[in-house]
Structure 1
């Protein structure tokens, strides 16, 4: 553990009534002596905190051009790491291979200076979020900052099904869309809802849908309100997946999906069989999105699913398929 981590952990254990950024810039300020005494800090820990505060001030004073260069550099390094080798990936074909592909650790983590402020055992997994002492290293683009913020500050407003949308979008939908687009895979997404004509048959569509450029519905999700068993969301996924045929999926071997109930989510796949009835496979355990650790795990799974979607698109680039999720009926007069 770094000096900064150990110092911030000691402060977090007693829950100080101030953020690190509010500590004095002047290292000779008497407040530092009081902090050192009250929280039992060692000299090297005090020095690490002072460096952090100074770096934060320097970051705020950076010219906008330099700040923009840092944002671009940090953002590119993360996306490059997440997409590294994606075009060389061998498409998983078995349940075990698919499960391992979704659960494997990420090669690059989001940097943060807030890591040690998470108290107790509820900390993010190290391959998704990693503490850095250099202030310039934690400046990210708005899309990556959105992911990092959702991991640390994720919160629900209400307990209805709609209350899950914002969290799922921040931790699953947005990371997947952004990485796919970075890899040149122009996916399209939509949420369940009637179109402007009122012709869309809403109750036959999943809550979240993602199509590959070929038109294949390769990823979908079902969400239920707090207090509803997650098996209900899983059943909704199954009920809207009656046929797995070339007509709808071309040569794609499986469809990926998530089921979400309140603050819990799990990822599954529907795998092609010798019949037109797919086999459901659970890819992850249930993840608790009310915790920092759970939200960071969810991001890991989302990034790996994005890599799988890019691989699916590469292996199945085209073909005439019926686009699922856009069932239209003639409105009655």
Structure 2
């Protein structure tokens, strides 16, 4: 016999009040991030960050992709809290030496330069976590991509997690189901997954990241695999650090060509090509390949959604004066 449940008018009122409180608290948490958070405390913030980003990308176009990647690797480890920037201390090991980051994550010196400029303009006001978010947007714009209003108001973590960095950032060997689960675990949809993966329209990857794909996988164009093998031998050695563009066609321009590569089975990483291998994400890849404006729209939405992952706000965390260490 099925169990029956009875709610009195009093209990219903309590439940309704609890639901209301939960909804209100969620709304307050989201409302604490806003595009004009620093409008009075640091009105020249955006104009202070942008020229430093532009200068770094002018010097090396690849830096734009590296700065965008910093945002992803920060947000996927205990939220967008600037923890990715912390150096090791006697009390914790930072995230820089985690497997997904060690030897490949770049751009820390650029963030240092931006932070120094921001501290000069408005000391002790702007978090490193927010600087990463603004820098990611400005990097996309500098390489020809869309702009958006970055939501701000994050505070900085006082610690970092090596284990979370090793466990929560999906590796390039990930299956489609693993990618979907990873993004869902961070409150992101499958649409966010496919759109944000389009960030691979810029930047490069190391041989060690794509070697299994070009030698072992069958869902890859033969000539493309042969080309990549010429600079990435099957044996382990110094060549593991050799680089190849994530987007075969326009590696220093932000566009939708990444999806065209996938449709033609020329995705560089195993995890890239998984998005177009007969699974549930095939249709989205085809949409973004044929409709660049839809990709742009969904990428911007995905970046905003990712920036909302567990931000520290209010009295939580701190505003670091040096992004590499706690105050």
Q: Please say which structure displays the higher CA radius of gyration.
A: 1
Question: Which of structures 1 and 2 has the larger relative contact order (alpha carbons within 8 angstroms, sep 6+)?
Answer: 2
More helix by share: 2
More strand by share: 1
- Band of TM-score, shorter chain: under 0.3
